[in-house]
């Protein structure tokens, strides 16, 4: 696996690859890789001749300084994991390399950033698309791979590339879960043992809510989810919303909505976890 830390160096190398007609698949990450990330790389390798993974903890998408400071970092072990799935290229730039000057770009996200994560993390999604756009400009991939666990992020990036005519195909990939249902996340390593034991209740609650949906109102489902998570004192619900898969607008009545998704954010101790499940 080739490793690059400088924009100029990876661009020069990839320019040679593109001249040979090589198709590039790209997986942007913030490191502390797990099986979910590795599944994205396997998919990229199956679709393209060259797979490029980036590891960059993007400060622009953190609106909580403590969260940024505590975000796990494990570059050495990440490199070993990437090599285990035969990733072709790692791009791991410094903050100064990515942002040599103050970055103040504001994109129009068509209102998709108003809901759920956007309501609790103002500016988060603009920070996401700023770094994704910069990475796309550097790597110039044919396809880019994103996990469905971050559904709102996936929806925003999919819309973003269409609106701004960015020539990259966005490939959604299924959420990878632990045996007990907990969605894999880099943040999971921060969970204390008791918090890790409590965390699977988040997905179990989502799953049960979907089973209840055909015979329940939205209001009833929301009340039930709130009460269910209150059963464990280590969990603190931030939001539970059932939204339209495309507009991300909250759904008030499941009848007539063919594509809905339930999204949730909850703290387990001090660790913020998100998850979702399709309501079809």
- pLDDT value, residue 254: 85
112 shares a domain with 51: yes
pLDDT (tens digit per residue) in 143-156: 999 999 999 999 99
180, part of any domain: no
Average pLDDT rounded to a whole number, residues 24-44:
97
What positions carry a catalytic annotation? 37
Q: Please count the helices (runs of H) and the strands (runs of E) in the chain.
A: 11, 9
25 shares a domain with 143: yes
Average pLDDT, the chain: 95
pLDDT at 141 over 80: yes
- Taken as a whole, the chain contains a residue count of 280
CATH number for position 219? 3.30.1300.10
Average pLDDT rounded to a whole number, residues 155-161:
98
- DSSP-derived letter for residue 214 is G
- pLDDT value, residue 217: 92
Percent of the chain with pLDDT over 90: 93
Do strands 260-268 and 143-147 pair parallel, antiparallel, or not at all (unpaired)?
unpaired
- pLDDT value, residue 258: 74
20 shares a domain with 132: yes
124 shares a domain with 11: yes
145 shares a domain with 60: yes
196, part of any domain: yes
Range of the domain at 11: 2-173
35 shares a domain with 140: yes
pLDDT (tens digit per residue) in 54-98: 999 999 999 888 889 889 999 999 999 999 999 999 999 999 999
222 shares a domain with 108: no
181, part of any domain: no
Confidence at 273, pLDDT banded by 50, 70, 90: very high
- pLDDT value, residue 64: 83
15 shares a domain with 149: yes
CATH number for position 57? 3.40.50.620
247, part of any domain: yes
In the structure encoding, which two tokens stand for residue 187, read together? 């943040």
**Rounded CA gap, 266 and 205, in Å?**
12
**Rounded CA gap, 191 and 150, in Å?**
19
169 shares a domain with 107: yes
162 shares a domain with 104: yes
pLDDT at 12 over 80: yes
pLDDT (tens digit per residue) in 246-260: 999 999 888 777 789
205, part of any domain: yes
108, part of any domain: yes
- pLDDT value, residue 65: 85
List, in sequence order, the alpha helices (H) in the chain.
Answer: 7-19, 35-47, 65-70, 75-84, 95-98, 117-120, 124-139, 151-163, 193-198, 201-212, 218-229
- pLDDT value, residue 108: 96
Residue 208: CB atoms within 10 A of its CB come to 15
- pLDDT value, residue 160: 98
Does 266 or 63 have the greater pLDDT score?
Answer: 266
- pLDDT value, residue 63: 84
* DSSP one-letter string for 152-197: HHHHHHHHHHHHTT---EEEEEPPPB-TTSPBP-GGGGG--HHHHH
**Rounded CA gap, 264 and 225, in Å?**
10
Residue ending a domain, among 149, 173, 197, is 173
pLDDT at 27 over 90: yes
Q: How many domains does the chain have?
A: 2
Picking from 114, 182, 185, 181, the residue whose alpha carbon sits closest to that of residue 152 is: 114
204 shares a domain with 142: no
pLDDT at 280 over 80: no
264 shares a domain with 225: yes
């Amino acid at each position: 696996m080739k490793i690059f830390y400088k924009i100029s160096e990876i661009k020069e190398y990839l320019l040679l690859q593109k001249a040979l007609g090589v198709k590039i698949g790209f997986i942007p990450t913030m490191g502390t890789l797990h099986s979910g990330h590795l599944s994205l790389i396997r998919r990229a390798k199956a679709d393209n001749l060259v797979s490029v993974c980036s590891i960059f903890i993007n400060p622009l998408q953190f609106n909580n300084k403590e969260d940024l400071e505590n975000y796990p970092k494990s570059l050495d072990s990440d490199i070993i994991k990437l090599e285990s799935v035969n990733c072709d290229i790692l791009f791991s730039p410094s903050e100064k390399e990515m942002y040599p000057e103050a970055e103040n770009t504001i994109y129009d996200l068509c209102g998709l950033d108003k809901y759920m994560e956007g309501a609790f993390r103002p500016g988060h999604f603009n920070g996401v698309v700023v770094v994704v756009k910069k990475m796309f400009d550097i790597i110039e991939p044919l396809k880019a791979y994103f996990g469905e666990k971050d559904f709102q992020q996936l929806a925003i990036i999919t819309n973003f590339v269409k609106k701004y005519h960015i020539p990259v195909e966005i490939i959604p990939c299924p959420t990878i879960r632990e045996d007990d249902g907990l969605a894999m996340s880099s943040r999971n390593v921060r969970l204390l043992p008791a918090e890790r034991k409590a965390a699977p209740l988040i997905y179990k609650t989502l799953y049960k809510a979907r089973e209840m949906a055909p015979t329940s109102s939205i209001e009833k489902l929301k009340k039930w989810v709130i009460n269910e998570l209150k059963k464990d004192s280590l969990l603190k619900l931030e939001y539970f919303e059932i939204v339209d898969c495309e507009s991300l607008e909250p759904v008030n009545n499941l009848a007539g909505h063919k594509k809905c998704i339930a999204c949730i954010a909850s703290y387990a101790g001090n660790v913020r976890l998100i998850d979702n499940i399709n309501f079809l």
